[in-house]
Structure 1
Amino acid sequence: MSANSMPGHPGGGAGSGRMKNAVQDKQWLAEHPVSLKRVASLFRPHLGSVIAVVLLIIASSIIGLAQPFIVRELIDVAIPQSDIRLLVFGAGGLVLIALATAVLEVLQTWRATLMGQRVMHRLRTGLFTHLQKQSLGYFTNSRSGDVQSRLINDVGQMQSVITNSATSIASNLTTVVATAVAMVAISWKLSLISLIVFPPAILLARQTAKLRRAVTGKRQREMSNLTSLIEERLSISGVRLSKIMGTGPADAEAFADSSHKLIDLEMKSALAGRWRMATMSIIFAAIPAALYLAAGLPVTGDGMSIGTLVAFTGLQAGIFRPVMGLMQLSVQWVSAMALFSRVFEYLDTDQELPVAADPKQIDPARTTGEVQLRDVSFRYPEARKATLDQLDLTLKAGTMTAVVGATGSGKSTLGSLLPRLLDPTSGEVLLDGVDLKEYDPQGIASVVSVVAQESYLLHDTVRANLLWAAPEATEEQLWKALEAAQIADLIRGLPLGIDTEVGQRGHRFSGGEQQRLAIARTMLREPKVLVLDEATSALDTVTEALVQQALDELAVGRTTLLIAHRLSTVMRADHIVVLEDGKIAEAGTFDELVSLGGRFARLVQNSELASQAS
């Protein structure tokens, strides 16, 4: 299954799993069926816990049913006959039953929750790890909300299914069966009367549940819309855009409109089915009335004792709720299977960057860093033509190769092939003569680093961002990297120094400062192969010169692929490649290409930095 099929699926959007009604879940399952065997396999490692929970549920239900029989003996025998011994044992029995059922329910909750959490942990980590192995193209074609929804919302709801719904079904089924047996044992005549009034009560309960589910779906959709407005309008980028565009009043009006809709939906949700529930209350009141009437009539009462009537009435009152729970079994089952299906769909997504069965390990100390591209082509799934077309290029170890060309010529795509963020559609990318596909991905990351045009910083301290690249780095090494990136003085001047929070996406710092922090982070990795994708694009001329000097020092002895528009940067390269429509149009040194008078020479002439190139 390709990544293109992801957007728009029923699992997408924050909280979308909660919004899906039974019809949508059934449609989803029809298109994405899930095997019961596969669902059961999730619980196979926890078979002991499953058995323990079931036994606890059965024990709790059976012990709880002893209460009405004790009540009957107390009313019919102990109290009328002043049997103190039976009275004490009966009263004590009621207390012990309450204590035993409470302890069993706590144990049941503990075992069920622990089992559910372990299953969810396995699913979450498996899904997260699987998604990490996908290519950049996968995430480009998938909405981040879809991924987050399945990883957090759908998996989270599955936890509820396991620990609540599953145990509730087992508990309800056990309770209904045991209670029905007890009712017949106490009085089969009264049992028949109870059956007469149950069908209309069950029908009304189902209608109420459907009505509430429909209203709840609308409320959840509007709540999701309200959440989206908050996330978009109150993020740093959203606030900045709002202030620039002057859309603050319009945004506030949109938020107020959505919030006002919620008032109506909340009212409907609160009142949904209230008249039906009132009717059900009347029916509930009529059931004991009918039982009392039947017990008093000579034909049906037949000398029935008061204790029998009280015990039966208690059983009858307690059986309705579990019966209603079982009536919702079909809806719960479809919803649960839909959740499993949505998560399994992501787990079944083909890995676009497969790992070799026996991957080769990379020794950074022995890696020379020579990179070869042999007959490399790359085409994005939705593109009409290839971004890179039969490219042959060698990046000699320890040299700097600059790639220039118009926007869309394939420069950044080429840069993404070296760290294996993408795999070529055809051809090979070799590191020290070995195809990158044969290496362990972690090994590639240890020798190939990228400083991209858009830097990304964690919402953490400067120190944490640096240690993310080199967890074992010493304080001295951190400051050395900051010095080399020409940002150490700025960091020292901050109140908290290197422990200063960078803010969301690094917005505590300017674009140029973010770029220099990203460069310092890369320096700590000491890569053998370095990809600089417009790495100095956000810097002013003075700072660029300083950082460029640091990058030149970093590039010594390393294979460097430089993607840049500024000729002041390109001039430092040992070799220059001009890309045009994914092909190499020209290649050579700076002086060679200028003297050639071709495409590169025209780029130099048309550049505002041409004076620096002379």
Structure 2
Amino acid sequence: MTTPLPASAPRTRTPRGHADSLPAPDGGGGRGMAPARLDPADRTQLRRHPVSLRRIARLFAPHRGTIALVVVLISAASVINLAQPFLVRAVIDDALPNQDVPLLIRLTAAMVGVAALTAVIGVVQTWRATAMGQHVMHSLRVRLFTHLQAQPLAFFTRTRGGEVQSRLTHDIAGMQSVVTSTATGVASNLTAVVATAAAMVALSPRLSLISLVVLPPAVWLSRRVAQLRRTVTDERQAALAQMHTQVEEGLSVSGARLAKTLGTTGHDAERFTGRSHELIGLELRSQLAGRWRMATMSIVFAAIPAVIYLAAGLPATSGGMTIGTLVAFTALQGQVFRPLMGLLNIGVQWVTALAFFSRIFEYLDLDPAIKPPADPVPVNPARVRGTVRFEGVDFAYDDGAPALSGIELTVPAGTTTAVVGSTGSGKSTLASLVPRLHDPTAGRVSIDGIDVARLDPADLAAIVGVVSQETYLIHASVRDNLRLADPEATDERLWAALETASLAGTVAALPEGLDTLVGARGHRFSGGEQQRLAIARTVLRNPPVLVLDEATSALDNTTEARVQTALDELAEHRTTLMVAHRLSTVMGADQVAVLEGGRIVELGAPAELLRAGGPFAALAARGDAVVPGAAPAEPALAR
């Protein structure tokens, strides 16, 4: 069974939330690098779903050669780049004072060569690391998408859609940043600090000791100021997120409709004005904090060489140092500050990286309740007769509440069975078992004697067509929506399907015809037109078994009559299981099954059940809806 996620699961954050904690792509981190700050949600995530380092290593196992090459390139670049200060010392102490032009040419050419070589190594390193990260991300993205597709509807019911999308896009993108930026940055910073420290000692052991006194307070001051700015930035980002949410909700089709119908446009404008005004103060604080941060960093970077120059000028600490050595040492000390700041963030970066992996693995570890058969029964959907049987079917949801109990029902091939009952009696649950949206807790559902659980999902989808109350249309053209059912369908077949659904005239009257965009969730069309478009889509599949789950219950009487006509034509010569609420619809069925409390309490031809005066007759007498063209009042069966 699928392991439910706790209701308290933290909202997944985008990688942007950790932008300040990631080193720059070159691994240096930059002068203004902010200290990483641990998000408590990351530790919570890791406590809930620990991550095995061995499992992470398996993701990168196919790329061992690339990893080794990247490490070699990073180390080589760090070591080669350290030649620059020694070349500068030689220029200042030897070539310039002695007017040695050939030596000067060789040294300056070497300086350019070192810079060019490290630049080329950096490009190759970035190329290989990014390619590796993209391949790992692609593999995870595909695995996660296909794994989530296999999850039951209950998973999508209890999980926020934004949460799923965030893990599939933002978290995996964050993992890619870990691979291409954080990991390479840590390796680069570590080699840079070690190599630079060794070079500093080689140049001047005395000044190296002084650096041990100067660097720690400079690092602490830089991190402290950066933390203050990070706090203000977090507040500004939170305010921007709230404003973005209001814009997204208030200026969408549904949001605009809600505001206009409830008369909340003025209130919404006031709320937006307040949030926008709040941003003024936060932006000022952020800019000032940023200016103080830059000012502090400027002071730090001026103070460090100043102390070195002072030490070099004092007889007690100079030790006969040459000017070239002083300049080279100062350059090295400036280089060690940035990677040192980067290394101080390793702990937080590590927790952040593990949290990304944890969120992805948490979804990958979900066990789909409905699994495709290991050895599916081969079947030709075109040869299926369509006899549907429910044999001793029980069903209970994850919370243990029974929805169906002891269902015994046969829908003969080519006939229509209507399922009616009061709200919560299990009608939609019963219908959902045929396309295998759920699996029975006990018993089985079969088509032509074959358990639907033993059919390949693609074959089952070709055999069973579903038209439900909720129609989902993608934001694309009419043609693209129809071709979801059959990507190879010609325009002639599309028009024929629309004609069957009584929608051909409506689409033909549109300026762009089949190329008309349906809009977000089909808002370009009315509810009845959306339903008929869904019917046309089902017609294209031409399934031998049809499940109609209250496909007209949300429509007005006039629209319902037109849609019902299309459904009647669709159901002709097919095995149809129909969850219905209109008496006129039910009376056309070959048999009616009445559900109460998840059990079939009455089964038979509709006219016979009305005459029997039992539960079906009581349901029919309870409603008061009117179908156009019917008698003054035609009952609607309780839904």
Q: CA deviation at 1:246?
A: 0.3
Q: What is the deviation of 1:542?
A: 5.6
Query: CA, structure 1 residues 177+268, in 2 after alignment: closer, same or farther (shift >3 Å)?
Result: same
Tell me the alpha carbon deviations over residues 520-550 of structure 1, each in whole angstroms, 9 at most, x when there is no partner.
Answer: 0010001121111122345555655554444
Taking the aligned partners of 1:196 and 1:613, their CA distance within structure 2 comes to 93
Single out whichever of 157-166 and 275-284 deviates more from structure 2. Answer: 275-284
Alignment of 1:189-208 (within 5 A): 189-208=206-225
Question: 1:18·1:220 contact (CA, 8 Å) conserved in 2?
Answer: no
Q: Which residue of structure 2 lines up, in the alignment, with residue 10 of structure 1?
A: 10
What is the rounded CA distance, in whole Å, between the counterparts of 2:177 and 2:408 in structure 1?
Answer: 55
* Contact 2:428-2:579 within 8 A present in 1 as well: yes
Name the residue aligned to 2:521: 505
What displacement does 1:209 show? Answer: 4.2
Report the equivalent of 2:597. 581
The 5 A counterparts of 1:34-433 are: 34-272=51-289, 275=292, 278-279=295-296, 281-382=298-399, 385-433=401-449
SS of the counterpart of 1:407? Answer: coil
For the Cα contact (< 8 Å) 1:449–1:527, is it kept in 2? yes
Q: Which stretch shows the higher mean deviation, 93-102 or 474-483?
A: 93-102
The amino acid that maps onto 2:419 is: V
Deviation at 1:235, TM superposition (A): 1.6
**1:597 aligns to 2:613 (yes or no):** yes
- Structure 1 pair 593–14 and aligned structure 2 pair: CA distance change class (3 A): farther
Instruction: State the Cα distance separating 1:306 from its structure 2 match.
Output: 0.8
Cα shift at 1:296: 2.3
Q: Does 1:561 align with 2:577?
A: yes
SS in 2 for 1:373: strand
Unaligned ranges ≥5, structure 1: none
How far the C-alpha of 1:484 sits from its partner, in A, is: 0.5
What is the one-letter code of the residue matched to 1:5?
A: L
Q: What are the Cα deviations for residues 169-199 of structure 1, in whole angstroms up to 9, with x where unaligned?
A: 1111111111111111111111111111111
Greater shift, 500-509 or 370-379, is seen at: 370-379
Show the counterpart of 1:527. 543
- Cα distance in 2 for residues equivalent to 1:252 and 1:14: 28
Matched letter for residue 196 of structure 1: V
Task: Render the CA deviation track for 1:392-440: whole Å, top value 9, x for unaligned.
Answer: 2112221111111122211111111111111223322222223222222
Question: Could you say what secondary structure the match of 1:469 adopts?
Answer: coil
Displacement of 1:66:
0.9
Q: What letter corresponds to residue 60 of structure 2 in structure 1?
A: F
Counterpart contact for 2:226–2:293, Cα < 8 Å: no
1:143 and 1:82 map into 2 onto residues whose CA distance is 74
- Looking at structure 2, the residues matched to 23 and 453 of structure 1 have their Cα atoms a distance apart, in angstroms, of 43
In 2, distance between residues paired with 1:137 and 1:242?
31
Alignment of 1:483 onto 2:483: no
Q: Is the CA contact 2:2–2:368 (under 8 Å) kept in the aligned structure 1? A: no
Counterpart AA for 1:57:
I
What value does the CA root-mean-square deviation take over the aligned residues?
A: 2.3
- Aligned CA distance change for structure 1 residues 273 and 504 (closer, same or farther; 3 Å): closer
CA-to-aligned-CA distance 1:359-416 (integer Å, 9 cap, x gap): 3343202322222112222222346x42222222112221111111122211111111
Which letter does structure 2 place at the counterpart of 1:287? Answer: I
Alpha-carbon distance in 1 for matches of 2:531, 2:505: 15
Q: 1:313-367 deviations in whole A, cap 9, x for unaligned?
A: 1111111000000011111111111111111111111212122333334320232
Give the aligned partner of residue 25 of structure 2.
none
CA distance in 2, matches of 1:223, 1:367: 57
More deviation, 257-266/232-241: 257-266
- Check conservation: 2:225, 2:292, Cα contact below 8 A: no
Q: For 1:42-91, what per-residue CA distance to the aligned partner results, in whole angstroms no more than 9, with x for missing partners?
A: 11122222222222212221221111111111111111111111111111
Per-residue deviation, 1:275: 4.9
Question: What is the SS of the residue equivalent to 2:483?
Answer: helix
Residue equivalent to 1:451: 467
Q: CA deviation at 1:15?
A: 7.4
TM-score (norm 2): 0.91
Preserved contact between residue 15 and residue 173 of structure 2 (Cα < 8 Å): no
Structure 1: which amino acid aligns with 2:494? L
SS in 2 for 1:8: coil
Instruction: Tell me how far apart the structure 1 counterparts of residues 412 and 13 of structure 2 sit (CA, whole Å).
Output: 47
Alpha-carbon separation, structure 2, partners of 1:273 and 1:555: 68
- Superposed CA offset, 1:529-572 (max 9, x none): 11111223455556555544443343233211111111121122
Assess if the C-alpha contact under 8 Å between 2:421 and 2:427 holds in 1: yes
TM-score, reference length from structure 1: 0.94
The answer to whether the Cα contact below 8 Å between 2:501 and 2:566 also exists between their aligned partners in 1 is yes
Amino acid at match of 2:79: I
C-alpha change, 1:204 and 1:118, in structure 2 (3 Å) is same
Aligned residues: 613
Residue 420 of structure 2 contacts residue 593 of structure 2 at CA under 8 Å; is this kept in 1? yes
Deviates more, 1:323-332 or 1:265-274: 265-274
Do 2:485 and 2:538's aligned partners in 1 also have CA atoms closer than 8 Å? Answer: yes
| SS of match in other structure, 2:350 | helix
Matches of 1:25 and 1:265, distance apart in 2: 26
Cα–Cα, structure 1 residues 224 and 390, in superposed 2: closer, same or farther, change >3 Å? farther
Counterpart AA for 1:101: T
Match of 2:450 in 1: 434
Which runs of 5 or more residues in structure 2 are unaligned? 20-36
Separation in 2, partners of 1:212, 1:4:
39
Using the TM superposition, give the Cα deviation of residue 118 of structure 1 relative to its aligned residue in structure 2, in angstroms: 1.3
The answer (yes or no) to whether the contact 2:14–2:174 under 8 Å persists in 1 is no
Give the secondary-structure state (helix, strand or coil) at the position aligned to 1:368: coil
Cα pair distance change 1:116/1:28, threshold 3 Å: same
Which shows bigger deviation, 463-472 or 592-601?
592-601
Instruction: Find the aligned partners of 1:388 and 1:469 in 2 and give their Cα distance.
Output: 31
Q: 1:239 to 1:21 in 2, by over 3 A?
A: farther
